[in-house]
Amino acid sequence: MQIGPDDLLLIIDVQNDFCPGGALAVSEGDAVVPVINRISRHFGHIALTQDWHPPGHRSFASSHPGSAPFESMAMPYGQQTLWPDHCVQGTAGAALHPELSTERAELLIRKGFRPEIDSYSAFYENDRTTPTGLAGYLRERGLKGIYLAGLATDYCVYYSAVDARRLGFEAVVIESGCRAIDLSGSLSAAWAGMQEAGVQRIGDLD
C-alpha cells in the first residue's frame, strides 16, 4: 500500500501498563513496538495517544467498592467496563514503552484525564461527543488518511478507527502492529464493527 504525503500513522497507547508486567497487560503487547518502529519510516507524519488517568478515575474498579475489574457498570454516558487501576498520570505504568521510537512524532494526545469519563477513542471521550481536538488538528494540517497501530485492537484502536471514518477520514488498521485484550469476544466484534464502518484492514506494510 502506497503511503502518501497526506497520510498519518496514529500510534495508540503503547504504554508500559498495557505491556507484559503492566497493570492491564495485553498479551504480547510489547510485540507491537518493533513493528511500529519499522513501519513508522514509511510515514511523513506520526501522532501518538497516551492513556492518562488521574488517581481514582471512575473507570477503575477500585473506585466502586464491591466491584471487580472487568465488570460492567452503568455510567451517565452508557455502560462502562471497570478496569484495574492503570496508566495513572505520572507513573511508570503510564509512560510510553521505552523502546518505542517517538522522536519523529508531531503530536501527543492524552486522553482519559477527565475523572468522571473514560476515553477509548483518540477523537472522543466515551460520551461520543466530547472531542480531543485531534480531528481539528488533522484537518488544519490537511491530513486525510489515518493508519492505526497499537493497543488494544478491540478497544482504543477500534474506537479510534471507527471515529476516524465517522469524521470522514480514511482509516486503515495495520494488524501486525496491534494486539487485543479479547474480553468476551470483543476482538471479533471489533473487527466486524470496523468492517461495517469502512475501516480497511491490512496485515503489514512491508
Annotated catalytic residue 13 = yes
Catalytic-labelled residue, pool 7, 17, 19, 111: 111
Query: What angle (nearest 5°) sits at the alpha carbon of residue 54, between those of residues 48 and 60?
Result: 100
110-125 exposure pattern, b = at least 16 Cβ within 10 A, e = fewer: bbbebeebbbbbbbbb
Query: Active-site residue 144, yes or no?
Result: no
Instruction: Give the CA-trace dihedral at 131, 78, 158, 167, to 10 degrees.
Output: -40
158: helix, strand or coil: helix
Which residue among 19, 156, 163, 178 is the active-site one?
A: 156
C-alpha cell at 38: 519499522
Considering the candidates 7, 13, 17, 118, report the single residue annotated as catalytic: 13
Q: Which residue type is seen at 134? A: L
Q: Where in the sequence numbering do the catalytic residues fall?
A: 13, 111, 156
